[in-house]
A = this chain, B = another copy of it.
Amino acid sequence: MNKRRIGLIRVVSYRGESRASLHGRLLERLYPELEVVTRCIPDQPKGIYDAETEALAVPKIISLGERMCREDRIEALIVSCAADPGVEGLRERVRLPVIGAGSSVACLALAFSDRVATMGITEGTPARMKALLGPCLVAEARPTGVTNTFELNTGAGKASAFAALRGLVAKGARVVALACTGFATLGVADEMTKQAGIPVLDPVVAAGLFAYAYIER
């Protein structure tokens, strides 16, 4: 099979190749047509978890994205973060399609229902997701005790996320958009879907779907 190459930006500065490329490998498994080149922004070992760390990351994401579009022979670029940091700026600067994980999962959710809930690790739903969901956003949750992607990836963090999920279903949500790409690292969307009885959508998988849709046209 002739693989089609896309780029993926991690907004956490992982040191190890295997942790860094986890989202890319997930997409290569789901969409065998894709080959994913992963690069991390520098000097943010804890990633993006508030307005300050987001502001710090944006210029790094734009600079890295521009370089990847020039040098990595990619056909589309994913920014693997639910806040879509740098996506708007990159779209002004590069010709390739730039796909944000946050807007992707919001768009995927809206295709299935007009009663969408979000679950993330920041205070409230990321702004771009919130704007896209508009009046279709019926509930929001953050797992108790989780404030960054590493706290999510613990036994207590995971249990807390499943507890929060039950609350969203009770509030009338018909689909849940996970608003942190740390959920992809955990790989819990399918298990959550089974438990909740409604689709629980992963932002990295959603971004991969739209990259695949663009490439396959």
Q: How many chain A residues have a CB neighbour from B under 8 Å? A: 29
Please measure, in the bound complex, the distance between the C-alpha atom of A85 and the C-alpha atom of B73, giving whole angstroms.
42
Q: What chain B residues lie within 8 Å of A91 (beta carbons)?
A: 113, 174
Is A38 in contact with chain B by the CB < 8 A criterion?
no
The stretch of A3-11, A143-151, A155-163, A207-215 that contacts the partner chain: A207-215
Instruction: Report if A104-B114 is in contact (Cβ < 8 Å); known contacts: A199-B214, A199-B217, A214-B199.
Output: no
**Interchain CB contact (< 8 A) of A210 among B30, B88, B106, B111:** B111
Is A97 in contact with chain B by the CB < 8 A criterion?
yes
Is A125 in contact with chain B by the CB < 8 A criterion?
no
**Interchain CB contact (< 8 A) of A111 among B99, B190, B193:** B99
Interface residues of A in 32-88 (CB under 8 A from B): 88
Q: What chain B residues lie within 8 Å of A106 (beta carbons)?
A: 110
- Least distance between A205 CB and chain B CB atoms (Å): 8
Interface string of A106-141 (1 = CB under 8 A from B): 111011111000000000000000011010000000
Is A181 in contact with chain B by the CB < 8 A criterion?
no
Instruction: Report if A97-B217 is in contact (Cβ < 8 Å); known contacts: A111-B104, A111-B107, A113-B91.
Output: no
Q: What chain B residues lie within 8 Å of A193 (beta carbons)?
A: 217
Please measure, in the bound complex, the distance between the C-alpha atom of A104 and the C-alpha atom of B103, giving whole angstroms.
14
**Interchain CB contact (< 8 A) of A108 among B113, B134, B210:** B210
Q: What chain B residues lie within 8 Å of A214 (beta carbons)?
A: 112, 199
Instruction: Report if A209-B199 is in contact (Cβ < 8 Å); known contacts: A99-B112, A104-B111, A114-B88.
Output: no
Q: Which residues of A pack against B, CB within 8 Å?
A: 30, 88, 91, 97, 99, 103-104, 106-108, 110-114, 131-132, 134, 174, 189-190, 193, 199, 209-210, 213-214, 216-217
Q: A103-B110, A108-B213 are in contact. List 9 more A-B contacts (CB 8 A).
A: A30-B216, A91-B113, A103-B111, A106-B110, A107-B111, A108-B210, A111-B210, A190-B217, A199-B214
* Listed A/B pairs (9) with beta-carbon separation below 8 Å: A91-B113, A97-B112, A99-B111, A104-B111, A107-B110, A110-B110, A110-B132, A112-B210, A189-B217
